[in-house]
Structure 1
Amino acid sequence: MNTHFQPFFDDISSFIPLSRLITDPLRTLAYGTDASFYRLVPQIVVQATSETEIQQLLKAANKHRISVTFRAAGTSLSGQAITDSVLIVLADGWDGYKISQDTMQISLQPGVIGGNANKYLLPFQRKIGPDPASINAAKIGGIAANNASGMCCGTAQNSYQTLKSMRLILADGSLLDTACPDSIQAFKQSHATLLNELSLLAEQTLANQALTERIKHKYRLKNTTGYAINSLIDFTDPIDILQHLMIGSEGTLGFISEITYNTVEEHPHKASALIFFNSVRVTCEAVAALKHTPVAAVELIDRAGLTSVMHKPGMPDFISDLNPNAAALLVETRASNEHQLNQAINEIIATLSQFETASQVEFYTDPSRCAEFWAIRKGLFPAVGAVRLTGTTVIIEDVAFPVERLADAVEDLHSIFKQLNYHEALIFGHALEGNLHFVFTQSFDSKDEVKRYEQLMEDVARLVVDKYDGSLKAEHGTGRNMAPFVEREWGKDAYQLMWSLKKRLDPNNLLNPGVLLNEDPQVHLANLKPMPAAHPLIDKCIECGFCEPSCPSRALTLTPRQRIVIWREISELRRTGSNPERLKRLEADYQYQGEETCAACGLCANTCPVSINTGNLTRAIRAENHITWTKKANWLAQNFSTLLASGRILLTVAHQTQRVLGANFLRKTSSGITRLSQGKVPTWSPSMPRAANRIQARELPSQTNPSSKVIYFASCASRTFGTSSQDTETRSLHEVTLNLLTKAGFEVIFPPKIEQLCCGMPFESKGLFEAAKLKSDELNTTLLELTQDGTVPIFSDTSPCSLRMKDNLDPRLQIFDSVEFIDRFVLNKLDIEAKEMQLAVHVTCSTVKMGLADALIRISRRCASHIVLPDQITCCGFAGDKGFTHPELNASSLRTLKTAVQTCDMGASTSRTCEIGLTQHSGIEYRSILYLLDQQSKAIEQNRP
């Protein structure tokens, strides 16, 4: 940390714990990245948890003249969430929400993820207006501060238009609640000068007819370039002006600590169509016509875009035959009922009948089919990222043109791309609003490449502003990227007005300086982010941050995006040898921050636009670090039954010790041993399970129906760990499963020598790939022989093992996870009575990746009258044995669980190790869902043996 920041640091450390003040080289670099192509490394990262802390931080910033930048999710694309000064990020404590009694409003704290806000509103058929493509990662603070819109939002449902009220903190640390009359009255007294100045600026703006007309003209389109100076002509009350100025201000005027939105209707009936045209011009003419029909969204995809996604599910075969000038529209319409939906579809088809299309117009109402269409549209950005050359970055620009001139604008953009050799560039966007995105790859590793990008930006500015009088930033925010062009787009009077607002609200220029307004004409070419090659598994990462909400270590150490940022830096330092001391420090810190606390659950791949599984990188690193363990691991693999037997003995001894010496003593003692052994010896907890009962050989009844046979592969976890010592249920999972399947009429067969068998997961997770393959090959051979080359289905009782078996064993084997098998073959063979209770359901990472989350929920609903799916819990962080060796990962991931399930009677999941941690951190007992299903079901008469 620069010594200039020491007095500020000393000041704020009096009210912010040191654990939430980050200054080390690894984590400051990790936080120096957002989704843009810029990088600035902060001197201090502050994890703030409350309004009071924000107020105190701003007062300290003013006292020491230290600039600060606010960060929500860091999914912004224009460089507005980075700084080389102090970065204030949202820690826990910002995810509160409240829905009004009539559901017409929702109040949201800035840490709520946009997609979660819509989940809260979905039961009432309402949603928030903004719908950015990043909605499942972006947080409300960023959505409001950037006035993000999206595919269906248009200009009528963005944050500016749907704002009801807000709580905001100004640069001087003062708090205003615009929904509270007392707060407003107090603010009018304390900030009378500011409010009078805002009123005067509004009067002067309205008196300037040319400027007023300019503002009206600019906001006929989507526009996030500069400040929301339309508030000066839209409102007369300075409080209204102030709160609307905050929308789209990118944290340069204040901090939004809560926003109340007017909600909008979420129509239950939807239909989508992917419509192809032979030319861009006809496509754009169709857009203009569709603007007068009941469409909710009209997304344009140019020919290059169609080519990039032509092999995606849902795309027709004739794409390759379309001419070079072809384009498509993805159209969606929505309605309150089926009759209205059909009317809307007919009206849209009638409107399109006047245009020549390359295929018949057909709307689909099937949700899965519509989801395919929208996956195609959302896959356009990553499609470029997936094919870019290593070392280049992907840039997405965001402009808006008058809809009636859209065709000419698209042709002009294509001409610019051709002239400057951006041959991979493609265009798509929210055509109904004239809002186009264009995506291209860019290298910044030479002066010529930087110059080429500079020329592109100049040509785009000339085209958008000078020729079409459009918006250079329609919805992605001005940031650093477009700050040099604000005056060019708006003109001198509007630009000076914006500076006047900045100086009145932030007189010391301490809030995110240089963002949105910047007098440096070259700022968009400075601090460009390097993207060096690091590892083939992660080189396609575009650092968008979509992965972060699903990561179990996000509040403890690093997120997947941050792991990739650091590994890129380590790899580059290794390659160049330029700074050995820095390399040594980063490598040492990464061992814990990056490798040891990565759950390697792979959920990041589910939300990554280019499907990167950062867990694979972690396993590859572990393989390098553990290369000397290979012989020992192979010996353990070959003597696996001994390992399992030893585990059961240790559990039995530990439970007996607990009875004699007490759980508290055992926990403290084992915790110390865990630290001394560097995680090799697990930490004891009261929820540690009993040893599982061994699977007993049994005589199987003779059955004539071969379709009733099932091979039951009980995982090594379920063979080792029984129920917890506090649980009244003493049966092991294999005993429950055997009873359940027999009850449903199945002949259950255990593989011979099952104690020796394992899918290889425990070894693979540690990067011991040779031992993992040894075990999976052994299991594969056994199961092929036992199933007669796959003719008999295999039941797997643990989801992580099911996934590994599906991925690694012979495809002839019919491998079913317990949830999958029960859902497909067992439920209809049992008489089930739902228990009157609240059941907490944990969907494991593997269940999600296998696409079985809905099946687990269906089974749970059959067993319990009410189920609870805890918010914000993704991977539990137990991660095989990490819950024993690094219990802080499990604790951090489940830190909100106890509150979420406080009304529940018990919990259910599909992985025994996950259930250990869930039990420990919830205060309720978690077991496999099979226990409850067995308890609440009985055999239908014809299934009885």
Structure 2
Amino acid sequence: MKHPSSADKKYRDYLAAAETFIDQQRITSDPLKTLAYGTDASFYRLIPQAVIKVDNEQEITRLLGLSRQLNVPVTFRAAGTSLSGQAITDSILITLNNSWKSRKVESDGMVINLQPGVIGADANAALVPWGRKIGPDPASINTCKIGGIAANNASGMCCGTAQNSYHTVAGMRLILADGALLDTRCPDSVAKFKNTHAELLNGLTDLAQQTCINQSLADKIRHKFRLKNTTGYSLNALVDYQDPLDILQHLMIGSEGTLGFISEISYHTVVEHPHKASTLVVFDNTDSACRAVSALKTEPVDSVEMMDRKALASVDGKPGMPDFISNLNEQANSLLIETRAATENELNQQIARINDVLKDFNKAAEVSFTADPAEFGKLWAIRKGLFPAVGGVREVGTTVIIEDIAFPVPQLAEAVIELQQLFIDFEYHNAIIFGHALEGNLHFVFTQGFETQQEIDRYGKFMDAVAHLVVNGYGGSLKAEHGTGRNMAPYVEMEWGSQAYNLMRQLKALLDPHNILNPGVILTDDPQSHLKNLKALPAADVSIDMCIECGFCEPVCPSRDITLTPRQRAALWREISRADRDDDKARVKELEQSWLYNGLDTCAACGMCQTRCPVGINIADLTRKLRGQRNSGTTDSIASIAANNYGSAMKIAGAGLSAAKATGAIIGNQRLKRITEKGHKMFSAMPVWPATSPGSASYSLSNSLNNGEPIVFFPSCASRTFGNAKGQQSQIDVIRQLLERAGYQLIIPKKLGDLCCGMPFESKGFAVQAQSKATQLRNALELASNNGQYPVLCDTSPCVVRGKAEIEASNSKMTLLDPVEFCLEHLLPRLTIRRKVHRLAVHATCSVRKQGLTTTLEKLASHCADELIIPEGIECCGFAGDRGFTQPELNASSLENLSKQIDGCEQGVSTSRTCEIGLTEHGGIDYRSIFHLLDECSREIPKPL
């Protein structure tokens, strides 16, 4: 690898030494990759000298040894969803490889052991059978990882203080700065640690005793933690516990990687009640809303979310929002209240109690309590949509900042009013307030530019005013749940006072005497550090300008583990665009050297990122646009020839498949795969032949002669091109006989061989040719369906999504059906189904997921199999049409964990022929269309019509 060109030799020495025990492929100092990892969800940017992906504890221990030896600091990073700048560095960034995802449930769900790479929502998924969950419930739980949840002591809407990591930790494995490993759950490990680290433990004991003896300091600590508080270290450990091991374990919670590394944590789980109900209540003013919060404090409420008038205005008019929002007065304030119970009867009793409390308050408007998930889901969509609502309408070039404070609940009304006045004083007129009112925990969101010193100065003065208001005005917390990070490090002493701050300094010196763990985070000597390394978000392209770089998109991206994520692609294109605009040719060249492969070639353009993006960004839009710009005149002409002669092009492709299949039969498919892999490395345009690839499709297709119910059947070009495994009937023949068995009269579009939805062209950036094929297909289907009189069935889900978009854009009257919705709603009632499969692997393609048909597919498959296996962490298989051949590493990376998850399955089903090729290759079982499964399970006796 290319080492950093830093003038400081220590980084080069560090990486050279690291390469002796870590695979070079997991160490990168490439300018593109280091810039990509210099971004987290905060408004800071620091570019690391190198990024190292670690596989195990031994590697971390050895890296820490190098850090001590060479005085090279390290920063640990999990998902990078942190908002205060604690997951970035200009030194060495250590991230987790995929080997840190172990989770184990114990004691009938009462305890769960988790490695730091487990996503919070996946931990909860493992606890579903026991009706339990982990206590912390941050808004980013579908993205953030356990390592970050524990290191930041993250909480959330219902967590409060009682159920956060500090109060629910049951034990942990941790690695200290000196490389020592301690497992607090293992007696042998504890005994060894007590022997080797007696001085450290004695030091913790002494600090705890000194703190408890200092009555005013001890009282202050207890008083501070009556609220949510993540400013500074968890000093409550020194007054809550006497055993130094307990103290150490609880100090690690919320330490943001500055005291050690948590390699595994055990949580006491909490009840996840099955019955829930929510109500939205709007009050005339903030005082009434806050008095209601105080009244609800002792009632059976699980969450009380406050949203001020401007917060509600930010979502006014959006789908599903209440009509009354636009008519509220400027002083209005609202509470979103949720209550949960074990039984429906208990829930109703709790609702009655809460309503009884609220009846004494004058209400401007309300949505009555509802237990309907669809209805209360709309209410919570208001709350969850606030942050992106501001981000989505901000001025291009500005940053969305979300701050996180806590006030004593009895003084909440006065505090909110004063905070709103600060917005006026500093001209943050778009600022909104919302948050977890039951805990006095408020978030406020505003947009801020960092392009000029004037803007930076305004922000600095505003934050000084906020700190004065929170600390001196109300004795509150400057960081309630987002962690101190770099954002509030200069204010820690102001909030805590010199005695407590010096105590934090002593803890840091005791556990990290060489200051090698995340320096500058939590504690800093620079009072202006929060105003440095600010991240600019310059205009780059309309498709990504609203990206807030939160990282919510990353878990569903198939290229996340081999090249870049959507967040990183957006950040990098911003930098390339900025450098190009500034005529910084050297910088552009430096980044573009690896951008084409990492940024464009390995993007699946599946659009799954949009399903998670809070502001609706689809990075595929940028990818297709840039691919289109890359297409030369010759390439564009070839694409036009292929589009205009599509039938012939598909015949040539089929001939190539047949030739490859015949060659594989002679020399062996595995050998053919190895040969094509070598060729691909030499000539990237050469496709790789998967060992399980089928030959060309062979089928018989014509209009039905029966008098059944007419349906237009459009088999996609993928199913017309790729055959099935040896000895199996082609997909098209199976569908034809299945439809006729169910009493349908098939109508086949004319000139079928020339028809295509345009997706193969669109994904490569050939927009004109893609639209031409989409229009041609629409015209053919309108003719075949008698202008929409008959429904149209397509056998491939990705083509359905593309076709539906064309139908909607053209205001066509046609009804285009996805295989999943057609089979469950129309085909299944006409067939007699017998379960013939014991364990069935089910893959919902990205197009099925985007249509909201995942549950429908599972319900459909359940009619044919005793047990369904739904692999986790595979939202898109990464085959992406033909990229399974041209960039096979994308497909391989996305499906890396497939085979072990479907062990014991007899077969698999999906709804995309190309996806099934990759799934078969990497899953080790045969994946076929859902139509094959229904055909297999319905051959005996069709139901009478």
TM-score by length of 2: 0.98
Closer, same or farther: CA 849–361 of 1 in aligned 2, 3 Å:
closer
In structure 2, what is the Cα distance between the partners aligned to 1:54 and 1:677? 38
CA-CA distance at 1:631 after TM superposition: 2.0
> Residue in 1 aligned with 2:895?
894
In structure 2, what is the Cα distance between the partners aligned to 1:721 and 1:71? 43
Aligned residues: 935
> Residue in 1 aligned with 2:358?
352
In structure 2, what is the Cα distance between the partners aligned to 1:699 and 1:812? 24
In structure 2, what is the Cα distance between the partners aligned to 1:44 and 1:637? 45
Which SS does the other structure have where 1:937 is aligned? Answer: coil
In structure 2, what is the Cα distance between the partners aligned to 1:510 and 1:298? 41
> Residue in 2 aligned with 1:731?
729
In structure 2, what is the Cα distance between the partners aligned to 1:91 and 1:676? 28
In structure 1, what is the Cα distance between the partners aligned to 2:227 and 2:603? 44
Which SS does the other structure have where 2:267 is aligned? Answer: strand
Please tell me the residue identity of whatever aligns with 2:776: E
CA-CA distance at 1:582 after TM superposition: 2.2
Which SS does the other structure have where 2:202 is aligned? Answer: helix
In structure 1, what is the Cα distance between the partners aligned to 2:38 and 2:334? 38
Q: Is the 8 A contact 1:630 1:770 kept in 2?
A: no
> Residue in 1 aligned with 2:772?
774
CA-CA distance at 1:942 after TM superposition: 5.4
Which SS does the other structure have where 1:95 is aligned? Answer: coil
Is 1:611–2:616 an aligned residue pair?
Answer: yes
Please list, as runs of the form range in 1=range in 2, the aligned pairs for 1:355-394 lying within 5 A after superposition.
Answer: 355-394=361-400
Q: Is the 8 A contact 2:543 2:621 kept in 1?
A: yes
Please tell me the residue identity of whatever aligns with 1:622: R
Q: Is the 8 A contact 2:151 2:253 kept in 1?
A: yes
Is 1:407–2:407 an aligned residue pair?
Answer: no
> Residue in 2 aligned with 1:584?
589
> Residue in 2 aligned with 1:325?
331
Closer, same or farther: CA 205–140 of 1 in aligned 2, 3 Å:
same
Q: Is the 8 A contact 2:660 2:695 kept in 1?
A: no
> Residue in 1 aligned with 2:744?
746
Please tell me the residue identity of whatever aligns with 2:696: A
In structure 1, what is the Cα distance between the partners aligned to 2:944 and 2:760? 37
Q: Is the 8 A contact 2:672 2:691 kept in 1?
A: no
Please tell me the residue identity of whatever aligns with 1:813: M
> Residue in 1 aligned with 2:791?
793
Q: Is the 8 A contact 1:602 1:614 kept in 2?
A: yes
> Residue in 2 aligned with 1:683?
688
Q: Is the 8 A contact 2:182 2:190 kept in 1?
A: yes
Which SS does the other structure have where 2:82 is aligned? Answer: coil
Q: Is the 8 A contact 1:177 1:184 kept in 2?
A: yes
CA-CA distance at 1:123 after TM superposition: 1.7
Which SS does the other structure have where 2:216 is aligned? Answer: helix
Please list, as runs of the form range in 1=range in 2, the aligned pairs for 1:900-915 lying within 5 A after superposition.
Answer: 900-915=901-916
CA-CA distance at 1:668 after TM superposition: 2.6
CA-CA distance at 1:91 after TM superposition: 1.0
CA-CA distance at 1:784 after TM superposition: 1.5
> Residue in 1 aligned with 2:515?
509
Please tell me the residue identity of whatever aligns with 1:609: P
Please list, as runs of the form range in 1=range in 2, the aligned pairs for 1:198-209 lying within 5 A after superposition.
Answer: 198-209=204-215
Is 1:225–2:231 an aligned residue pair?
Answer: yes
In structure 2, what is the Cα distance between the partners aligned to 1:37 and 1:222? 23
> Residue in 1 aligned with 2:464?
458
CA-CA distance at 1:248 after TM superposition: 0.1
Q: Is the 8 A contact 2:399 2:448 kept in 1?
A: yes
Is 1:554–2:560 an aligned residue pair?
Answer: yes
Closer, same or farther: CA 942–146 of 1 in aligned 2, 3 Å:
closer
Give structure 1 stretches of 5+ with no counterpart.
none
Is 1:159–2:184 an aligned residue pair?
Answer: no
Which SS does the other structure have where 2:172 is aligned? Answer: strand
Please tell me the residue identity of whatever aligns with 1:822: C
Is 1:534–2:540 an aligned residue pair?
Answer: yes
Closer, same or farther: CA 675–360 of 1 in aligned 2, 3 Å:
closer
In structure 2, what is the Cα distance between the partners aligned to 1:677 and 1:127? 50
In structure 1, what is the Cα distance between the partners aligned to 2:908 and 2:241? 52
In structure 2, what is the Cα distance between the partners aligned to 1:943 and 1:648? 39
CA-CA distance at 1:745 after TM superposition: 2.0
Write the deviation string for residues 625-670 of structure 1: whole angstroms up to 9, x where unpaired. 0142222211111111111111221111211111222223322332
Select which of 191, 200, 210 maps to 2:216.
210
In structure 2, what is the Cα distance between the partners aligned to 1:765 and 1:414? 47
Closer, same or farther: CA 939–700 of 1 in aligned 2, 3 Å:
farther
Write the deviation string for residues 702-759 of structure 1: whole angstroms up to 9, x where unpaired. 24xxxx221111100011111134xx4x211111112222222222211111111110
In structure 1, what is the Cα distance between the partners aligned to 2:943 and 2:270? 52
> Residue in 2 aligned with 1:601?
606
CA-CA distance at 1:836 after TM superposition: 4.2
Write the deviation string for residues 520-574 of structure 1: whole angstroms up to 9, x where unpaired. 1100001001111110000000101111111101110011111111111110011
CA-CA distance at 1:268 after TM superposition: 0.5
CA-CA distance at 1:698 after TM superposition: 4.5
Give structure 2 stretches of 5+ with no counterpart.
none
CA-CA distance at 1:938 after TM superposition: 4.7
CA-CA distance at 1:939 after TM superposition: 7.4
In structure 1, what is the Cα distance between the partners aligned to 2:349 and 2:24? 61
> Residue in 2 aligned with 1:822?
823
TM-score by length of 1: 0.98
Please tell me the residue identity of whatever aligns with 1:582: R
In structure 1, what is the Cα distance between the partners aligned to 2:837 and 2:823? 21
CA-CA distance at 1:929 after TM superposition: 1.5
Which SS does the other structure have where 2:218 is aligned? Answer: helix
In structure 2, what is the Cα distance between the partners aligned to 1:390 and 1:879? 32
Write the deviation string for residues 802-838 of structure 1: whole angstroms up to 9, x where unpaired. 0000111244210110001112212222211222411
Is 1:650–2:656 an aligned residue pair?
Answer: yes
Select which of 456, 472, 475 maps to 2:478.
472
In structure 1, what is the Cα distance between the partners aligned to 2:723 and 2:856? 25
In structure 1, what is the Cα distance between the partners aligned to 2:931 and 2:98? 34
Instruction: Tell me whether 310-319 or 13-22 shows the greater mean CA deviation.
Output: 310-319
Q: CA RMSD in A?
A: 1.2
Which SS does the other structure have where 1:439 is aligned? Answer: strand
Write the deviation string for residues 904-936 of structure 1: whole angstroms up to 9, x where unpaired. 111111111011011001111111111111111
Q: Is the 8 A contact 1:302 1:427 kept in 2?
A: yes
Is 1:39–2:37 an aligned residue pair?
Answer: no
Q: Is the 8 A contact 1:484 1:524 kept in 2?
A: yes
Which SS does the other structure have where 2:459 is aligned? Answer: helix
CA-CA distance at 1:694 after TM superposition: 3.6
In structure 2, what is the Cα distance between the partners aligned to 1:314 and 1:284? 26
In structure 2, what is the Cα distance between the partners aligned to 1:357 and 1:850? 39
Q: Is the 8 A contact 1:48 1:90 kept in 2?
A: yes
Q: Is the 8 A contact 1:839 1:868 kept in 2?
A: yes
Extract structure 1 runs of 4+ deviating beyond 4 A. 938-942
Closer, same or farther: CA 66–699 of 1 in aligned 2, 3 Å:
closer
> Residue in 2 aligned with 1:282?
288
> Residue in 2 aligned with 1:843?
844
CA-CA distance at 1:303 after TM superposition: 0.5
Which SS does the other structure have where 1:274 is aligned? Answer: strand
Closer, same or farther: CA 823–204 of 1 in aligned 2, 3 Å:
same
Please tell me the residue identity of whatever aligns with 1:688: S
Select which of 671, 674, 678 maps to 2:677.
671
Provide the identity percentage. 54
Closer, same or farther: CA 585–209 of 1 in aligned 2, 3 Å:
same
CA-CA distance at 1:699 after TM superposition: 4.3
In structure 2, what is the Cα distance between the partners aligned to 1:493 and 1:591? 54
CA-CA distance at 1:284 after TM superposition: 1.1
In structure 2, what is the Cα distance between the partners aligned to 1:738 and 1:330? 52
Q: Is the 8 A contact 1:652 1:691 kept in 2?
A: yes
